[in-house]
Amino acid sequence: MPNLSPKQVEDFHRDGFIVIKNFCSAAETQKLLNTAIEDRNLINNALDLNDQTGKKTKLSLWFKPGKDVFGYLTRSKKVIEAVAELLDSDAQVCHFHSKLMQKEPKVGGAWEWHQDYGYWYKNQFMFPDQLISVMVALTPANKANGCLQVIKGSHKLGRVNHGFAGEQVGADIAMVENALKTMELVYSEIEAGDALIFHSNLLHRSEANLSDHPRWSIISCYSSQSNLAYNETSTSWKTPVDVVPNEAILNWESAPTVDADFLKKENDPALKATGWEG
Ligand SMILES: O=C(O)CCC(=O)C(=O)O
Ligand SMILES: [Fe+2]
């Protein structure tokens, strides 16, 4: 039984993204949000990333999905089946990394226009069509609190050059402006529990959160096992996901995230100059 309809698959290939409403139930979303708020490891391993104006986005990033509620979500049958249908490979699905994104009221920073493959090219992943991101909203995301914006169809541009924009890596703004002349900018306003699945070359950004409401989400990135990365020391990206039933999210006991292999800022090639920029 396919997880996605033929129309969803077609939309993804044409537009570079799809939104799946109520991908997580209210109870699942609440459990994820509570864990995000209460789990000391997630909090202690959060990195602050400055945007160009000094506003900060907080993110915790880990590689190997564990036996906690986030691990169960990222390994769940519903996520892995959807991803498998959209990746350009019949090989098994591997989990590259997940990030808990916390854009706090008034202080949550912006993300510059970029393609995720703009980062992952630095990891020397070979195939952008075998890399994908799944964003699940843990709180409502809208224009006021800095929801994700995407340029519809921009994954078809291929990878554009990226250079540093503050502490972040940003796409060549000339190419972004050209794209915006003919392609539609879409504000991905979604509710808690909705999922946005997008291609690694889709141009996207988000503005600062100037509202009184948090914008929290989890973004999980997947790669096919046939996609090799020659500059990546973590190993989860080449390890097929140990898939769990969807019920695990709500019903299985959630272990602490203490053993998770969290990213330290200095170890991320995407945050370092390689000389390949520009
Ligand atoms: O959460 C956001 O607003 C964007 C984050 C993002 O695009 C990324 O981490 O690659
Ligand atoms: Fe991104």
Q: How high is the pLDDT of residue 56?
A: 86
Give the chain's domains with CATH numbers.
11-246+259-271 (2.60.120.620)
Ligand 1 contact, 12 CB (< 6 A): no
Helix (H, G, I), strand (E, B) or coil at 56: strand
Which has more pLDDT, 88 or 276?
Answer: 88
Q: How high is the pLDDT of residue 54?
A: 84
Give, as residue ranges, everything with CB less than 5 Å from ion ligand 2: 116
Nearest CA to ligand 1 atom 1: 101
Ligand 1 contact, 95 CB (< 6 A): no
Do 77 and 243 form a contact (C-beta atoms < 8 A)? yes
Q: What is the pLDDT of residues 226-262, one digit of tens each?
A: 999 999 999 999 999 999 999 999 999 988 775 678 8
In whole angstroms, how far apart are CA 227 and each of 83, 134, 166, 217?
Answer: 14, 18, 30, 26
Q: Encoding tokens for residue 38?
A: 């209460």
> How would residue 267 be classed by pLDDT, with cut points 50, 70 and 90?
low
Helix (H, G, I), strand (E, B) or coil at 80: helix
Beta-carbon contacts of 274 under 8 Å, excluding residues fewer than 6 positions away, are 122
Q: How high is the pLDDT of residue 41?
A: 84
Do 227 and 130 form a contact (C-beta atoms < 8 A)? yes
Quick one: which atom of ligand 1 is closest to the CA of 206?
3
Identify the residue whose tokens are 């695990």: 248
What residue type is 80 in one-letter code?
I
Q: What is the mean pLDDT of residues 55-82?
A: 94
d(CA 202, CA 118): 10
Nearest of 171, 154, 174 to residue 163 by alpha carbon: 171
CA of 133 to the centre of ligand 2 (A): 8
The kind and range of the H/E element at 118 are helix 116-120
Pocket test for ligand 1, best of 59, 139, 148 (most atoms within 8 A of CB): 148
d(CA 215, CA 233): 31
Pocket test for ligand 1, best of 97, 190, 200, 204 (most atoms within 8 A of CB): 204
CA of 94 to the centre of ligand 1 (A): 20
Q: How high is the pLDDT of residue 269?
A: 61
Q: What is the mean pLDDT of residues 174-187?
A: 98
Tell me: pLDDT of 82 over 90. Answer: yes
Identify the residue whose tokens are 């864990």: 35
Q: How high is the pLDDT of residue 51?
A: 84
Q: Around Cβ 274, how many Cβ atoms within 10 Å?
A: 10
> How would residue 1 be classed by pLDDT, with cut points 50, 70 and 90?
very low
Mean pLDDT of the chain: 92
d(CA 263, CA 229): 17
Look at phi and psi of residue 21 and say left if phi exceeds 0, alpha if psi is from -120 to 50, else beta: beta
Pocket test for ligand 1, best of 168, 206, 210 (most atoms within 8 A of CB): 206
Is the complex ipTM more than 0.95?
yes
Quick one: which atom of ligand 1 is closest to the CA of 59?
9
